[in-house]
Amino acid sequence: YNDKNREATILSAIYEKQLIENGQKLVEKIPYKYKYYSNGKLISKAERKILHVKRELYDLFPNPFVVTEGPCYYKWVRKKYGPFVTKSYKDQIAQKITYKKALNFFFPPSTATGQWLRKIRRTIVEKRR
């Protein structure tokens, strides 16, 4: 918080104190249930983002983090987006995925959000010139 915003700082301190008094230290040690697929593999940020953007996937995969012998989100996302989700974050950085590739991946140009983001990006680039 901004140090000049005294009320927000006080409110934050009160909130943190209440968390501790109500057992936050015990609760924070409980592992997060949705960090891994049912097969034990870590769920990447990219896989989560795909689910967030493509909400219709919940119709195909009601519980997307359960890995089954048949069709499941785990297999589908690897088949459709392979290298974006199977490599670690460090590997993705090493590959130097460009901003444009990431933009196209998460917000395809055919979507309203994708078009809006591209318009914003063009405006920023033009202002820099």
Q: Judge whether residue 96 has pLDDT over 70.
A: no
Q: Judge whether residue 65 has pLDDT over 60.
A: yes
**How many CA atoms lie less than 13 Å away from 114 in the CB half-sphere?**
15
pLDDT > 90 in the chain, percent: 32
Mean pLDDT across 19-25: 90
Report d(CA 32, CA 63) in Å as an integer: 16
Q: Judge whether residue 114 has pLDDT over 80.
A: yes
Residue listed under structure tokens 């589908």: 76
Q: Judge whether residue 46 has pLDDT over 70.
A: yes
Q: Rounded to 5 degrees, what are φ and ψ at 36?
A: -130, 155
